[in-house]
């Protein structure tokens, strides 16, 4: 009797959607942490007795940690049960977030943010890799959903911070509440079996070993994420400096960009069930170029800026998850390969926004849209090269 009753439970627990729910909850947690830094920076400066210019080192430490975590965690997922790794990462994140508001020394807080960033990178690698192993070539819509739930967490985070600060008068409660919100994903995943690693078939063996294809894909992630974060991070300053918006309207404009981005991720879920990753990616890139093109053609028009920013945000929304599904069609996705994708993304997120910052005052605000447009054109070229390279590999495999 007990054996019979246990069998359905085991089957339920190993059902792919049960695992997917855990990954979605983990990415909500990831979004909660990612969006918590901005609203709490003044509070952290107060806790450590630091100026805002000094506290900005926390952002650099988090980015560096993310890069290191992305690079180093892939092998863990390839060698150990994925759910053990991902739950350990969630525990580490929760503990570090409890400690953050308690640390009075800036240098020690920088070290904690470095660890938190590494855990963030490891969680990002794990969620993307395990979902690919779970759904294989049908991962498209599920991958879009995964990154939509990251957006949900990022949307909720400032609200949680604001309510906690209002209730307690300090950021400590905010960080502790965010730490508690890491637990649902942890408790859900720890009881489920990890998905099996993706086998390397003969038709994909050359794709896994093909360093040219892998390099093109990593460069593609580098360029795209750099363009996305450059747009999101510099849009406010661009509009304000050119006199296209006052401070309040520029803030609404930035919200419009990210709102369109979140809406695009939601809509991309059913779209990914009907169209191939290659077709979706091409449409996204054309939409991004059209959005930036509107701004370049009418640089003095506030209306053109609104249309271009919201249009580009909507088109950018599904590029990152679709690129992973696009890559899955051409090579076996391992933890190590996902690590390289995300490391490329992290490098792009640090490089292109920094470059715009160096040239913004020297050349002028229009350098932002010019660099983003060039990056998107390079992204289209990389897309074409990946398709051609993949096609040649497929022909050789068939022959």
Model pLDDT for residues 278-307, shown as the tens digit of each residue: 999 999 999 999 999 999 999 999 999 999
Q: What does the pLDDT read at residue 281?
A: 95
Q: Is the pLDDT of residue 156 over 70?
A: yes
CA distance 327 to 274: 18
| CATH code that applies to domain 202-398 | 1.20.1250.20
Token representation of residue 57: 């080192």
pTM: 0.77
Segment 251-263 shows an average pLDDT of 84
Q: Where are the alpha helices (DSSP H) in the chain?
A: 2-13, 16-34, 37-48, 52-55, 57-79, 82-99, 106-135, 140-168, 172-180, 183-189, 202-209, 211-241, 247-274, 277-297, 302-316, 319-328, 335-363, 367-398
Structural element, H or E, at residue 197: none
Share of the chain above pLDDT 90, in %: 45
Nearest to 345 by CA among 105, 9, 70, 54: 70
- Same fold across 2-189 and 202-398: yes
**CA neighbor of 163 nearest in space, from 177, 180, 146, 144:** 177
Quick one: tokens of 370?
């010019």
* pLDDT higher than threshold 70 for residue 79: yes
Q: CB under 8 Å to 379, separation ≥6 — which residues?
A: 220, 223, 224, 227, 285
User: Angle at Cα 151 formed by Cα 147 and Cα 153, nearest 5°?
Assistant: 115
Rounded Cα distance, 118 and 71, in Å: 9
- For domain 2-189, the question of CATH label 1.20.1250.20 is answered with yes
Q: Is 49 helix (H, G, I), strand (E, B) or coil?
A: coil
Question: Tokens representing 113?
Answer: 């943010």
Is it the case that residue 204 has pLDDT exceeding 70? no
CA–CA gap between residue 160 and residue 36 (Å, rounded): 9
CB contact at 8 A, 340 and 202: no
In the chain, what is the straight-line distance between the N-terminal and C-terminal CA atoms, in Å?
Answer: 55
Q: For residue range 366-380, list pLDDT tens digits in order.
A: 999 999 999 999 999
Residue of higher predicted confidence among 206 and 345: 345
- Beta-carbon contacts of 17 under 8 Å, excluding residues fewer than 6 positions away, are none
Please check the confidence at residue 209 and state whether its pLDDT lies above 60. Answer: no
pLDDT score of 375: 96
Q: In terms of residues, how long is the chain?
A: 399
- Chain segment 28-76, per-residue pLDDT in tens: 999 888 878 767 778 888 899 987 667 767 877 888 888 899 888 888 8
- Average pLDDT in the chain: 85
Spell out the domain ranges in the chain: 2-189, 202-398
CA distance 269 to 271: 5
Helix (H, G, I), strand (E, B) or coil at 74: helix
């Amino acid at each position: 009797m007990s054996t019979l009753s246990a069998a359905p439970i085991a089957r339920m627990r190993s059902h792919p959607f049960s695992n997917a729910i855990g990954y979605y909850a983990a990415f909500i947690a990831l979004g909660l942490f990612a969006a918590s830094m901005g609203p709490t920076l003044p509070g952290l400066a107060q806790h450590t007795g630091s100026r805002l210019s000094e506290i900005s080192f926390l952002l650099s430490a988090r980015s560096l940690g993310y890069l290191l975590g992305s690079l180093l965690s892939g092998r863990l997922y390839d060698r150990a049960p994925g759910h053990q790794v991902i739950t350990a990462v969630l525990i580490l994140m929760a503990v570090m977030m409890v400690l953050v508001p308690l640390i009075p020394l800036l240098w020690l807080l920088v070290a904690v943010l470095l660890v938190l960033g590494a855990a963030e990178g490891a969680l990002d690698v794990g969620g993307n890799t395990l979902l690919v192993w779970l759904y294989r070539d049908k991962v498209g819509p599920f991958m879009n959903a995964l990154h939509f739930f990251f957006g949900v967490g990022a949307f909720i985070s400032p609200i949680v911070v604001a309510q906690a600060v209002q209730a307690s008068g300090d950021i400590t409660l905010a960080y502790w509440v965010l730490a508690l919100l890491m637990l649902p994903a942890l408790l859900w995943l720890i009881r489920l079996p990890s998905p099996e690693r993706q086998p390397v078939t003969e038709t994909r063996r050359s794709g896994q070993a093909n360093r040219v294809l892998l390099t093109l894909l990593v460069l593609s992630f580098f360029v795209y994420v750099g363009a996305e974060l450059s747009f999101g991070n510099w849009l406010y300053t661009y509009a304000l400096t050119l006199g296209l918006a006052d401070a309040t309207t520029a803030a609404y404009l930035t919200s419009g960009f990210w709102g369109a981005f979140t809406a695009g991720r939601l809509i991309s879920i059913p779209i990914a069930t009907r169209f191939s990753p290659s077709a979706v990616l091409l449409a996204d890139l054309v939409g991004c170029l059209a959005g930036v093109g509107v701004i370049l053609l009418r640089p003095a028009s506030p209306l053109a800026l609104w249309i271009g920013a919201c249009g580009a945000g909507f088109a950018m929304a599904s590029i990152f998850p679709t690129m992973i599904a696009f890559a899955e069609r051409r090579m076996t996705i391992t933890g190590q390969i996902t690590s390289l994708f995300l490391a490329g993304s992290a490098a792009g997120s640090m490089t292109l926004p920094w470059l715009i910052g160096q040239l913004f005052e020297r050349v002028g605000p229009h350098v932002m849209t010019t660099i983003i447009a060039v990056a998107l054109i390079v992204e289209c070229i990389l897309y074409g090269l990946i398709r051609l390279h993949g096609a040649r590999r497929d022909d050789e495999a068939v022959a």
